[in-house]
Structure 1
C-alpha cells in the first residue's frame, strides 16, 4: 500500500512539474528588453515667456537677456540617450542628461517648469511593447548677483538654485510568459547619488543623469492555481499507477 501511495505521489509531482513548466516556458529565460526611443519635452513654464525648443534629441528652455557680451541666456537642457539600447535583467541604465547653464542675465527669470520624459521599446523574445512616462517638476531660483544676497554654500556671486521632484509615473510593469518586467525611473543622479537640488556657480554649468532600472521576476501563481495543479497531479499519478498495474 505504501509503495502504491509513493507511486501516486511521484506521478503527481512529475505531472505538476510538467504543468509548471508549461506556465513558465523555456523561452522566458530570454530576460531582457530593447529601448527603441526616448523622447522629452519641457512643459508649463512660469513665467510663460520662457523660450522652449522641444525638437530633436536635446530639448531646451532659455530665459533672460545676456548681461555680458560674451555670455548667453540662462537655461536648462535635456539630451536623450541614443537608441536602440539593449538591456538585461538587473541593469541600471541612463535615459538622458539634464544640464543647467548659469549665466549673468537681466530681465525675467525662470520660476518653475516641468519635464516630461518617455522611453519605450520591446521585450526580447516576444516583441511585447512597453512604455514608461515620467513627469519632473523643477523649481528655479535665479539669485541676484550681489554679495549679501547669496544662498548658503554659494561659491560665486551668486550661485543659482535648482530643485527637481519626480511627480508621477515612476514605473511600469509588463508580464510576458509568466515573468514580470518592471521598469522604474530612479530619478536624476550625480556621481551615483540621487539629485534633488543643487547650487550652480555663476558662469558655470551642472549636469545630472536621469537613470532607470529593469528588474525581472517570476509571477507567483495564485493559491487556487497551485491547488488545481496538486489535484491534477494526483489524478495524473493515479492514472500512471493504473497503467503500471494493467
Structure 2
C-alpha cells in the first residue's frame, strides 16, 4: 500500500470515528426524548378524563395521549384505515362523533379483522353515547411506503382532514382524533377498542453504547495507522 492510500485510510478512520460519535450523541438525545414520552404517557393514562379541546384550539404533542370524555352521537358513516395490531392485520374503524355543541370529532372506534370489515359486522351505535378515549394527533400523508388513496378507498394513516373531507362532514371538525378506550364493564365486541400502543420500546441506551464503542474502535484504528505511518517515515 502506497503512502497516499495509507493517508486516505487514516482520514477515513478518523471521519468514521467522528461520525459514530455523532450518532452516539443523537441516540442520547433520543433516549431523553423517549424517557420524557414514557413519563408523560404514564401520567396521562392515570389522570381523570377531561372535556375535549375546542375544535378551534391548537393541539400539539404536549396534548397527545390526554384522556378525554366525549358525549354525542355517531353519524352513520365511516372510513376503514389499514392497521396491524396485537390481534393481527385488519382495519381501524374511524367514525365521526357529533358532539352536543354541533362540532364533530373523528373517533377510532377500534380494530376489526378483515372478515368483519363490512359495516353490518360492526354496526355503529345509535342514539346518545358517552365514551372515554385518548387524544391523538393527525397522521397526514399515509404509511411509510404507501400514500393514502381516498378516491380508491385506501387509507394507511389516520389523516383527520383527509378523512373528514372524504366523509363530507358538515360544521367544524376537531383537528385531532380520539382512540376509544376499552370499557372493562362491557363485553368484548368489534370494533375492538383499547389497542392504542402505550408501551414504547426504549433501546436508545444500547444503541448509544454501540455507536460509542464503534467510535472508540475507529479512533484506535486511526491512532494505530498514524503511529505506523510515522514509523515508516524516513529519519
TM-score of the alignment, normalized to the shorter chain, above 0.5: no
| Length-normalised TM-score, structure 2 | 0.28
- The structure that has the greater radius of gyration is 1
| Length-normalised TM-score, structure 1 | 0.27
> Comparing both chains, which one has the higher relative contact order based on Cα–Cα distances under 8 Å and sequence gaps of 6 or more?
2
Whose helix proportion is higher, 1 or 2?
Answer: 2
